[in-house]
């Protein structure tokens, strides 16, 4: 954390679902090239944090700045153009679009994204099934498609919500390899993950969230010392 | 002779059915596109159809602009006017229950039709068939007016073109995706509010195109749309709300069914479409080609 200006800087982020106050002042930083993981039990506000950062939840206060730019007043359809790419928990693959159309749906927002060729090299299954309807893919393939379509856009920050949820161990491993590849390419990743073992292999830093607040943060190196407290916080 | 019906009468009614079906198909296509993305039941669709016919009539009467340029200009005028209405008014209602969109467009239809009736009266204005399409062909068993053949052909081309736009283009993939999950499409950086405005303009423009095509067949009158739109709503219900292919196919089929009924049991010809609608609602409420909710 020597870099004084993080790529993503979130301060005092509050968010509401209708009348429900879901986030109570989240503070977090994600530096260029870092993979940061939000840990926490079900329903503590991890997904809400990603959605509020992205601006999908509009009822929010505090500050979100990305690459030095205040994102709070930016309309949702301009957020991606600033370089934030969102992969939702439910994956959001469109049934009425083919795999290829799903892949090409998000507009390219900056140079430096992967070419379709590179993407199909990384995910050979998708190329084989490029003309199938998006939702005819298996859960694992849908998750890979959800990640792949953001890689094409040239986004600098990947907001990745529970990519391993409900997937077989061999697929989880494959997604882990993909994230490591992305890290090597310099992608910045903010990951929400329940699968602690998976997260511990890819993340550089962790935030622990409870009741809509950050209750702890530490580097990957400090992980062994924290295991006791972490088990308590996560209830695992 | 079929069942004691002269073949000429039979084929003549079939042709009228096909022409009516062409208008049902074009109009229900626009309704289906608007409903699919905006979730608005566009009650102003009949008024927009009427505006298309009047645009053609006024272009000719005021500027001397003939049928062929009007075929492009009338849908553009109706589409743009409707896009402005969407942006300024209809778009403010999206956060509310869908009922408000229906009520708004219903009121809008009354205002538009009332305004035209105030200035032009209720009686129809004639609009001449363009000279290139005057006359007709003697097919031996019946006489086919050229213009009516053109309406059927034009309607098929419009429906096919719109289907290609939605199924085979990039813009169409945005429309389909936004129909499924508008928030996520917006989060990907696509200007969904603009897409909604465009879609409303497109649907209304299709109605306007149907209107200018109809001008030489029916007369141009302020109430021409309200007479037709109730039937078109029945077509959309039978085809399945939001199903584009369902709207088009059902449009043609019900037009033909109506024509056949005029041959075999003329007394029922005004209600046969509504009887079909009632049966479909009872047996398959989502419509013949709609997805079961």
The pLDDT tens digits of the residues spanning A131-175 come to 999 999 999 999 999 999 999 999 999 999 999 998 999 999 999
Chain segment B112-138, per-residue pLDDT in tens: 999 999 999 988 899 999 999 988 888
The Cα of A78 is separated from the nearest Cα of chain B by a number of Å equal to 6
Tens digit of each residue's pLDDT (9 = 90 or more) over B55-75: 999 999 999 999 999 999 999
**Residue B292 covered by a domain:** no
Task: Measure the CA angle with vertex B94, ends B93 and B95; round to 5°.
Answer: 95
How far is it, in rounded angstroms, from Cα A139 to Cα A166? 8
Average pLDDT of chain B is 92
CB of A130 within 8 Å of any CB in chain B?
no
State the total domains in chain B: 1
When mean pLDDT is compared across A101-115, B70-84, B235-249, the lowest value belongs to B235-249
Banded model confidence at residue A68, pLDDT cuts 50, 70, 90: very high
* Element containing residue A158 per DSSP (H, E): strand A157-161
CA distance B152 to B20: 9
Give pLDDT, residue A196: 84
Give the Cα separation of A199 and A190 in Å (integer). Answer: 11
A77 CB within 8 Å of a chain B CB: yes
Q: Is the pLDDT of residue B149 over 90?
A: yes
Tokens of A106: 């998000």
Q: Check B189 against A81: CB less than 8 A apart.
A: yes
- Distance in angstroms (rounded) separating the CA atoms of residues A93 and A134: 6
Q: Which chain A residues have a beta carbon less than 8 Å from that of B192? A: 77
With a cut of 80, say whether residue A234 has pLDDT above it.
no
Please judge whether B189 and A78 are an interchain contact, meaning their C-beta atoms are less than 8 angstroms apart. yes
Q: Which of B27, B289, B14 is nearest to B158 (CA)?
A: B27
Please judge whether B188 and A104 are an interchain contact, meaning their C-beta atoms are less than 8 angstroms apart: no
Average pLDDT over residues A119-134: 92
pLDDT digits (tens, 9 = 90+) for A181-228: 999 989 999 999 988 889 988 999 999 999 999 999 999 888 888 888
pLDDT band at B40, cuts 50/70/90?
very high
A80 touches chain B (CB under 8 A): yes
Helix, strand or coil, per DSSP, at residue A147: helix
DSSP helix/strand/coil, A127: helix
pLDDT digit string, tens, across residues B213-252? 999 998 899 999 988 999 999 999 999 887 888 899 999 9
Task: Report, as an integer, the average pLDDT of A9-27.
Answer: 94
Answer whether B123's CB lies under 8 Å from B108's CB. no
In the stretch 182-201 of chain A, residues with CB closer than 8 A to chain B read none
Mean pLDDT for all residues in chain A: 92
Q: Cα(B63)–Cα(B215) distance, rounded to whole angstroms?
A: 17
* Separation CA A52–CA A57 (nearest Å): 5
Give the per-residue pLDDT at B3.
Answer: 65
Strand-pairing partners, residue A160, are A87, A191
Residues 6+ apart with CB under 8 A from A45: A15, A22, A23, A26, A209, A211, A212, A213
Place of tokens 């305004």: B115
ipTM above 0.95, yes or no: no
In sequence order, the β-bridge partners of residue B125 are B220
The predicted-structure confidence for B182-219, as pLDDT tens digits, reads as follows: 999 999 999 999 999 999 999 999 999 999 999 999 88
Is residue A231 predicted with pLDDT exceeding 90?
no
pLDDT at B91 over 70: yes
Q: Is the pLDDT of residue A36 over 60?
A: yes
Nearest C-alpha neighbor of B154 from the set B208, B203, B210: B210
What is the span of the domain harbouring residue B257?
7-283
pLDDT band at A45 (very low <50, low <70, confident <90, very high): very high
Mark yes or no for CB contact A107/B189 under 8 Å. Answer: yes
Looking at residue A133, the DSSP 8-state letter turns out to be B
**Domain contains B199:** yes
Q: How far apart are CA B45 and CA B230, in angstroms?
A: 10
Is the Cβ of A89 closer than 8 Å to some Cβ of chain B? no
The structure tokens 């693959």 sit at: A93
Q: What is the pLDDT of residue A3?
A: 54
Task: Assess A133–B contact: CB distance below 8 Å, yes or no.
Answer: no
- Asked if residue B11 belongs to a domain, the reply is yes
Taking phi first (over 0 means left), then psi (-120 to 50 degrees means alpha), and beta for anything else, what does residue B4 get?
Answer: left
Residue B289 lies in a domain: no
- Give the per-residue pLDDT at B214: 96
Cα B195 from Cα B165, distance rounded (Å): 14
Task: Write out the two tokens for B37.
Answer: 């993305």
pLDDT higher than threshold 50 for residue B92: yes
Report pLDDT for B208: 98
pTM: 0.90
pLDDT at A26 over 60: yes
Provide mean pLDDT across the span B86-102: 93
Partner residue opposite B173 with nearest CB, options A56, A95, A105:
A105
Q: How far apart are CA A46 and CA A65, in angstroms?
A: 18
Query: Is B288 within the bounds of a domain?
Result: no
Instruction: Give the whole-number percent of chain A exceeding pLDDT 90.
Output: 81
Residue A217: strand, helix, or coil = strand
The CATH number assigned to the domain holding B88 equals 1.10.3470
Pairwise CA distance, residues A55 & A86, whole Å: 10
pLDDT for residue B292: 53
Q: What share of chain A is helix, strand, coil (3-state, %, to 5)?
A: 35, 25, 35
Closest chain A residue by Cα to residue B180? A94
Domains of chain A: 8-234 (3.40.50.300)
What span, in angstroms and rounded, lies between the C-alpha atoms of B250 and B25? 7
Q: Note the pLDDT of residue A86.
A: 96
> Does the structure show a pLDDT above 60 at B293?
no
Q: Give the 3-state secondary structure of chain B.
A: CECCECHHHHHHHHHHHHHHHHHHHHHHHHHHHHHHHHCCCCCCHHHHHHHHHHHHHHHHHHHCCCHHHHHHHHHHHHHHHHHHHHHHCHHHHCCCCHHHHHHHHHHHHHHHHHHHHHHHCCCCECCCCCHHHCCEEECCCCEEEHHHHHHHHHHHHHHHHHHHHHHHCHHHHHHHHHHHCHHHHHHCCCCHHHHHHHHHHHHHHHHHHHHHHHCCCCCECCCHHHHHHHHHHHHHHHHCCCCHHHHHHHHHHHHHHHHHHHHHCHHHCCCHHHHHHHHHHHHCCCCCCCCCC
| Residue B161 predicted with pLDDT over 50 | yes
**Are the C-beta atoms of B200 and B83 separated by less than 8 Å?**
yes
Residue A229 DSSP SS3: helix
Q: Which of B45, B104, B35 is nearest to B231 (CA)?
A: B45
Which of B153-157, B163-167, B223-227 comes out lowest in average pLDDT?
Answer: B223-227
What's the pLDDT at B8? 79
Inter-chain CB proximity B187 and A86 less than 8 Å: yes
């Amino acid at each position: 954390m020597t870099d004084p200006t993080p790529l993503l800087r979130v301060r005092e982020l509050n968010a509401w679902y209708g009348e429900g106050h879901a986030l109570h002042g989240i503070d977090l930083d994600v530096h260029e090239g870092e993979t940061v993981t939000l840990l926490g039990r079900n329903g503590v506000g991890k997904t809400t944090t990603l959605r509020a950062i992205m601006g999908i939840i509009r009822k929010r206060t505090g500050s979100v700045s990305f690459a030095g730019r205040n994102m709070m007043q930016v309309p949702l359809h301009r957020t991606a153009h600033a370089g934030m790419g969102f992969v939702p928990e439910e994956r959001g693959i469109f049934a009425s679009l083919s795999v290829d159309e799903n892949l090409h749906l998000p507009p390219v927002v900056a140079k430096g994204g992967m070419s379709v060729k590179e993407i199909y090299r990384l995910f050979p299954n998708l190329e084989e099934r490029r003309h199938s309807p998006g939702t005819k893919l298996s859960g694992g393939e849908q998750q890979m498609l959800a990640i792949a379509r953001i890689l094409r856009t040239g986004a600098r920050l990947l907001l990745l919500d529970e990519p391993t949820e409900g997937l077989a161990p061999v697929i989880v491993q494959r997604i882990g390899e993909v994230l490591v590849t992305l890290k090597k390419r310099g992608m910045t990743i903010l990951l929400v993950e329940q699968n602690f073992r998976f997260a511990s292999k890819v993340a550089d830093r962790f935030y622990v969230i409870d009741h809509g607040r950050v209750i702890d943060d530490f580097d990957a190196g400090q992980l062994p010392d924290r295991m006791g407290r972490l088990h308590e916080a996560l209830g695992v | 002779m079929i069942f004691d019906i002269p073949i000429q009468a039979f084929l003549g009614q079939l042709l009228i059915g096909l022409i009516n079906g062409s208008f049902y198909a074009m109009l229900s296509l626009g309704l289906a596109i608007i409903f699919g993305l905006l979730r608005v039941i566009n009650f102003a669709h009949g008024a927009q159809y009427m505006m298309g016919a009047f645009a053609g009539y006024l272009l000719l009467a005021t500027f001397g602009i003939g049928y062929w340029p009007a075929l492009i200009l009338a849908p553009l005028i109706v589409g743009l006017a409707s896009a402005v209405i969407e942006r300024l008014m209809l778009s403010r209602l999206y956060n509310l229950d869908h009922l408000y969109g229906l009520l708004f467009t219903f009121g809008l239809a009354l205002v538009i039709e009332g305004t035209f009736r105030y200035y032009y009266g209720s009686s129809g204005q004639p609009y001449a068939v363009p000279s290139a399409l005057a006359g007709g062909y003697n097919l031996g068993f019946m006489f086919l007016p050229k213009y009516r053949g053109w309406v059927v052909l034009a309607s098929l081309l419009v429906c096919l073109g719109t289907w290609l736009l939605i199924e085979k283009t990039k813009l169409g993939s945005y429309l389909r995706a936004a129909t499924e999950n508008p928030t996520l499409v917006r989060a990907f950086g696509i200007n969904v509010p603009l897409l909604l405005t465009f879609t409303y303009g497109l649907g209304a423009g299709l109605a306007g195109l149907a209107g200018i095509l109809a001008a030489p067949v029916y007369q141009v009158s302020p109430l021409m749309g309200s007479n037709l739109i109730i039937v078109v709503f029945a077509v959309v219900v039978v085809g399945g709300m939001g199903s584009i292919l369902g709207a088009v196919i059902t449009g043609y089929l019900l037009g033909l069914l109506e024509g056949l009924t005029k041959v075999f049991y003329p007394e029922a010809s005004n209600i046969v479409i509504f009887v079909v609608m009632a049966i479909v609602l009872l047996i398959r409420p989502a419509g013949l080609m709609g997805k079961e909710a």
